[in-house]
Amino acid sequence: MAEIVVFHHALGLTPGVRAFAEGLGRAGHRVHVPDLYEGRLFGALEEGVAHAQEIGIGAFIERGTAAAESAASAPVCVGFSLGVLPAQKYAQTAPGVRGAVLLEACVPRSEFGPAWPSGVPVQVHGMDADPFFAGEGDLEAAMALAEESPDAEVFLYPGDRHLFTDSGLASYDPTAAEQVRKRVLAFLARIDAAPDATPS
């Protein structure tokens, strides 16, 4: 069993994010899903990003890392889009993190430290024509991470949708999302099977 902290995207803690987390729970993992917007939900990315900016991006990240710290001592961090920021920061800087899954975003590794921590596996998933992921530097950051770290994997899916893994949104792509789900579950199984895995 892995301890997992899931960070929501700019629209808030949507039913689709909850459903993804619940799927991980049904697979036998213990999942924490902090609400960094304190109940607020948004219907458009622009509105959600504006709310995050009103909170302060730094404050948003700190809310996430504080939530991860209080939830589990050795978690796997999963972030959706904007939620990649606290997920990636915590994975790069906190001791004992067992892995990270970055969905539809990735920032340059140098944002949070001099190198990706050795022995911390990470997956990055995104669509190859998503104007946010492929068009704003995230894909390049992901590929650079994969070149630098033997523990990094990048998975690309055909399409131009952002938030394609959120089953409650019009951007949802069930075929690609199912591939993500299977790859994430296999990733978690490998972490569970690692010699230092915490007994369930």
Per-residue DSSP letters for 55-68? H-HHHHHHHHHHHH
- At 4-28, the pLDDT tens digits run 999 999 999 999 999 999 999 999 9
- At 148-161, the pLDDT tens digits run 999 999 999 999 99
* pLDDT recorded at residue 196: 59
H or E, element range at 189: helix 174-193
* Cα distance between residue 46 and residue 64, in whole Å: 20
Q: What are phi and psi of 190, to 5 degrees?
A: -65, -40
**CATH 3.40.50.300: does it fit domain 3-192?**
no
Q: What are phi and psi of 156, to 5 degrees?
A: -110, 145
* Cα distance between residue 75 and residue 79, in whole Å: 12
Q: Which residues contact 192 (CB under 8 A, 6 or more apart)?
A: 1, 2, 200
- At 21-74, the pLDDT tens digits run 999 999 999 999 999 999 999 999 999 999 999 999 999 999 999 999 888 778
Question: What phi-psi label fits residue 56: left (phi over 0), alpha (psi between -120 and 50 degrees) or beta?
Answer: left
Residues 163 and 81: beta-carbon distance below 8 Å: yes
Total Cβ atoms within 10 A of residue 27: 16
- At 89-116, the pLDDT tens digits run 999 999 999 999 999 999 999 999 888 9
Residues 160 and 129: beta-carbon distance below 8 Å: yes
Mean pLDDT of the chain: 93
